[in-house]
Amino acid sequence: MFTNKTFTMLKPDSVEKGNIGAILEKITASGFRIVALKLTQLTNADAEAFYAVHNERPFFGDLVTYMTRGPIVAAILEKENAVEDFRTLIGATNPTEAAEGTIRNMFADSISENAVHGSDSDENAAIEGAFHFSEREMF
Ligand code: CMP
């Protein structure tokens, strides 16, 4: 069972702006333990599969271009109630609606380039984590 864990990506805009350290500091200061961590880059096929649920949306092409344009930081995080607490920590999809002090409020520029991903369920956290990490990379 993959419970009390979530999966995150620090998206290309976060890496480009030099915000990896600041965002990871905010995540660990909020009580999450880093279980797995890597700098990597999504291929077109990766991004299309990852965001397949949005493939009918008008922004899908731009989303795939954005998510593949440079490296991301992939991580698995552990904390009691990880999925829900992490989504609270990152804030609303649109940074103009994200609460004060949330990661998107602090580090995101727009609804399309919104700094971080957070899994929406334990099931998806397990799928997304297993896509990026082997058992020997999870601690
Ligand atoms: P996230 O919620 O992590 O996953 C889906 C992504 O699609 C979202 O972050 C944004 O990066 C992007 N997205 C969602 N809604 C819009 C929108 N209305 N316009 C452009 N991009 C969007």
Count: domains in the chain: 1
Specify if 98 maps to a domain. yes
Specify if 121 maps to a domain. yes
The rounded mean pLDDT for the chain is: 97
Q: 67-126 pLDDT, tens per residue? A: 999 999 999 999 999 999 999 999 999 999 999 999 999 999 999 999 999 999 999 999
Q: Whose CA is nearest to atom 21 of ligand 1?
A: 112
**Per the structure block, which two tokens stand in for 114?**
């919104």
75, 70, 93: which is closest to 8 by C-alpha?
75
Residue range of the domain that includes 78: 5-40+72-137
Specify if 49 maps to a domain. no
**Per the structure block, which two tokens stand in for 123?**
């099931």
Given a contact cutoff of 8 angstroms between Cβ atoms, the answer to whether 19 and 111 are in contact is no
The binding-site residues of ligand 1, defined as CB within 6 angstroms of any ligand atom, are 54, 59, 63, 93, 111-112, 114, 117
Instruction: Using DSSP, state whether 15 is helix, strand or coil.
Output: helix
Specify if 35 maps to a domain. yes
Q: So what's the pLDDT on residue 2?
A: 83
Ligand 1 geometric centre to CA of 112 (Å):
5
- The answer to whether 117 is a known catalytic residue is yes
Specify if 31 maps to a domain. yes
Specify if 45 maps to a domain. no
How far is Cα of residue 72 from the mean position of the Cα atoms in its chain?
Answer: 9
pTM, to two decimals: 0.96
Q: So what's the pLDDT on residue 110?
A: 97
The CATH number covering residue 103 comes to 3.30.70.141
**Per the structure block, which two tokens stand in for 77?**
């995080």
